[in-house]
Amino acid sequence: MDKVVEEVKGGEEKALAELLDFLRIPSVSADPAFNGETARCAKWIADTLEGDGFDARIYETGGHPAVVAKYRVSEDLPTVLIYGHYDVQPAERADGWSADPFAPYVKDEKIYGRGSSDDKGQLYCHVAGVRAHLRATGTLPVNVTFLIEGEEEAASGHFDKFVRESGELLACDCIVVSDGPMYGEGHPALIYSLRGLMYMEVTVTGPDRDLHSGVMGGIVMNPAQALSSMLGDLFDDRGSIAVPRFYDDVRPLDRWEREEWAKLPYDEAAVAKGIGVSTLAGEEGFTPLERLWGRPSLDINGIWSGYTGEGSKTIIPSKASAKISCRLVPDQDPDKIAEAVEAKLRAVMPEGVTLSVTRMPSAYPVLLPSKGWAMDAAAEAVRGAYGVEPYLIREGASIPVVHTLAATLEKPVLLMAFGRISDRIHGPDEHFHLEDFRHGMEFSARFLKEVAKIRG
């Protein structure tokens, strides 16, 4: 292993130079004006892996192309599939960047540029980790498949369909997803669960036009009032979601989970202060981490009705709308939750208005095995690369593709993030700490070795 670790360090300069080239490509997936750049970026990463000896192919998915690159050492060795994405969030200098977001640079031990942490930098940890083996031994200790998509930031569904239809192409023994932040700075976690998502837009309609509140106020149900009241009824006074059947399928937290999470460093007052509120809120009877990771939530993401300009206008609005979403936990089903929320809204809707509901794309919650050989291999690699024992946690956010990968390939998925919460992903001056880059490269190199040790 020492030789491989040595080669991680030896390859760092080249890896960094290449990563900067990778970051120079404005592979923005949400804006069709950049379709030429996403195609160029897919070709760039495919060519790079081809240069390392991979059999790299570009697949048209109907959206931005996907790259599948395979390095097959032997049929007898296990195969590790590494997932990442080459597309990035939109970014313009005017958004508040200190420099052109696609002119990356290193300053104060950090790599600055759009995609540096999300996700090109994290993907490059694996590229460099694999390469260290090739430099040290001329081969790999396991078979490796890179699966690199181009529409993670655009959620168009093409890639999801591609995965579901490519079970054979992507067959493997375990899957590694590196996208997101560590639990603590410099202290990685192994993540075994993600929340899912239900999203809907609702519109309450009253009169067929805005009315004069002097002429009609007091005899017409006001849709903004009706919607407010209906949304208010979605919670009880203990912070629980007051929707019948909502909690029916929620898998109770295991005792070990609550015990482990209670040991994690978490400063509730500091979190509140960090977002500018006097106190955290939420469901009674659960700690903040339990509420974030193990309990479903409901949020109003937007609401609009009537006159919203300067000054006063005395109307009774014709319509009122809201966007409502739920983060879901195992074993909740987004469709059943959407039905339950809609049924509750209809049950409390006053007379004199009507309700229409439009559902948006959803995501299933994910519960992965919290134990097993892949977890063991990752934990050992964390010990080696970071010198700490990894936390074992869940996550509150959703990564829809994880559910698809797990369901299609039916193999352990390892969620192993290399970034930090403070990396400003999706914001201006996104960056990736060189220390995290180095740790990630070493983790990747060590992980492949550990897999070979356990399953080789």
CA distance 52 to 48: 7
3 state SS of 244: coil
CA distance 64 to 332: 31
Structure tokens at 48: 């790079």
Place of tokens 């097959």: 72
Q: Binding to a second copy by residue 292, rule CB under 8 A?
A: yes
Contact code string over 318-347 relative to a second copy, x by CB under 8 A:
--xxxx-x-x--------------------
> In the complex, what is the shortest distance from the CB of residue 81 to a second copy, in angstroms, rounded to a whole number?
24
Q: Binding to a second copy by residue 368, rule CB under 8 A?
A: no
- For a second copy, the binding residue among 1, 262, 269, 280 (CB under 8 A) is 280
Helices (H), 191-267: 213-216, 223-232, 255-263
Structure tokens at 149: 């998509």
Q: Binding to a second copy by residue 90, rule CB under 8 A?
A: no
Contact code string over 142-181 relative to a second copy, x by CB under 8 A:
----------------------------------------
> In the complex, what is the shortest distance from the CB of residue 354 to a second copy, in angstroms, rounded to a whole number?
8
Closest CB to a second copy among residues 6, 268: 268
Yes or no: say if 195 and 398 are a contact pair by the CB < 8 Å rule. Answer: yes
Closest CB to a second copy among residues 23, 329: 329
Task: Specify the stretch interacting with a second copy by CB under 8 A; choose among 79-87, 229-237, 243-251, 443-451.
Answer: 229-237
Contact code string over 184-223 relative to a second copy, x by CB under 8 A:
-----------x-x-x-x----xxxx-xxxxxxxxxxxx-
Closest CB to a second copy among residues 41, 353: 353
Yes or no: say if 143 and 10 are a contact pair by the CB < 8 Å rule. Answer: no
Can you list the positions of beta strands (E) in 92-163? 105-107, 110-112, 143-149
Q: Binding to a second copy by residue 228, rule CB under 8 A?
A: yes
Yes or no: say if 73 and 441 are a contact pair by the CB < 8 Å rule. Answer: no
Yes or no: say if 152 and 115 are a contact pair by the CB < 8 Å rule. Answer: no
Q: Is 73 exposed, middle or buried (0-12, 13-18, 19+ CB in 10 A)?
A: middle
- For a second copy, the binding residue among 35, 156, 297, 370 (CB under 8 A) is 297
For residue 197, the surrounding DSSP H or E stretch is: strand 196-205
- For a second copy, the binding residue among 361, 369, 387, 456 (CB under 8 A) is 361
- For a second copy, the binding residue among 184, 350, 384, 428 (CB under 8 A) is 350
Q: Binding to a second copy by residue 288, rule CB under 8 A?
A: yes
Q: Is the peptide bond before 248 cis (omega within 30 degrees of 0)?
A: no
Closest CB to a second copy among residues 137, 301: 301
Q: Binding to a second copy by residue 303, rule CB under 8 A?
A: yes
CA distance 345 to 61: 38
Those residues with Cβ within 8 angstroms of residue 362's Cβ, 6 or more apart along the chain or in another chain: 196, 197, 198, 199, 334, 335, 338
Closest CB to a second copy among residues 75, 208: 208
Q: What are phi and psi of 57, to 5 degrees?
A: -130, 150
- For a second copy, the binding residue among 50, 92, 100, 233 (CB under 8 A) is 233
Closest CB to a second copy among residues 220, 357: 220
Closest CB to a second copy among residues 17, 347: 347
Site for a second copy in 377-436 (CB under 8 A): 395-398
CA distance to 62, 158, 205, 331, per residue, from 65 (Å): 8, 9, 42, 32
The 8-class DSSP code of residue 33 comes to G
Q: Binding to a second copy by residue 264, rule CB under 8 A?
A: no
Q: Binding to a second copy by residue 307, rule CB under 8 A?
A: yes
> In the complex, what is the shortest distance from the CB of residue 390 to a second copy, in angstroms, rounded to a whole number?
20
Q: Binding to a second copy by residue 105, rule CB under 8 A?
A: no
> In the complex, what is the shortest distance from the CB of residue 306 to a second copy, in angstroms, rounded to a whole number?
4
For residue 340, the surrounding DSSP H or E stretch is: helix 334-348
